[in-house]
Amino acid sequence: MQRYIAIAALMVGGLFAGSFAVVVVIGGWWSAQAQDAKTPYPSMAPLDQYLMERNAEIALARSAAPGSISQDAEVMVLGRHGYETAAKGKNGFVCMVERSWAAEIDNPDFWNPKLRAPLCLNPPAARSNVPLTTKKTEFVLAARSKAQIVEDIKAAFEKKELTAPEPGAMSYMMSKQQYLGDRNGHWHPHLMFFVQLTDSAAWGADLPRSPVLTLPVDTWERQTVFLVPVAKWSDGTVDATDEH
């Protein structure tokens, strides 16, 4: 996912240059200005545009983390009726490729059929964020409206079908093949940390020269998500931070 989930390069420029541009860029990955009424994706595209060939999706999902982690992870892929297990795991991690609806509900990329966000979630994150992703996908495939999806997710939390993140919940997003929206492209390899709703200041996030960034998410998903860019992609190659 969350959510999954790519922040614009201007952000990294500010991050590594030590400027306060990091706050401006936070509108990157899953976020773009909600008031941008000229979104090129006003509604869901035909389902086939979001689907992938099964083996290609498995490989893309595993590319989110170093092989030492992803090779023993469970892999889930998107089918016509939702996410399904494509490969059993044995280390408690779950790797999957989130689609555009992992973004905030008002994000212009919410229905972008090109978006592919591979991530590998550790066991605590798998127990909370995988159900959130699969439940949200269930509502999307049922052709629920955005307003209905919001109410459906809220109701799922009230009924204890979904839970806030456990302590230690995190994921790897280090795939060179990730495409995190038209504004952000492949962005940079990074880690995500999922916590119950909290003040970003408690993490020192979004401050000059701080490597910790806050990812905009919908508060009704009952979590705060922090990003920490890392130097290398999952295949060990160095990220060129000046390319964005």
Mean pLDDT of all residues in 187-204: 97
Confidence band, pLDDT 50/70/90 cuts, at residue 38: low
Long-range contacts of 112-116 (CB under 8 A, 24+ apart): 112/40, 112/41, 112/181, 112/182, 113/41, 113/45, 113/49, 113/50, 114/179, 114/182, 115/179, 115/180, 115/181, 116/52, 116/60, 116/177, 116/178, 116/179
Q: pTM for the full model?
A: 0.84
Per-residue pLDDT tens over the stretch 48-72: 999 999 999 999 999 999 999 999 9
Mean pLDDT of all residues in 151-174: 97
pLDDT at 240 (0 to 100): 84
Distance in angstroms (rounded) separating the CA atoms of residues 150 and 119? 23
Mean pLDDT of all residues in 74-87: 98
Query: Which of 161, 175, 219, 166 is closest to 60 using CA atoms?
Result: 175
Per-residue pLDDT tens over the stretch 107-158: 999 999 999 999 999 999 999 999 999 999 999 999 999 999 999 999 999 9
Mean pLDDT of all residues in 77-103: 98
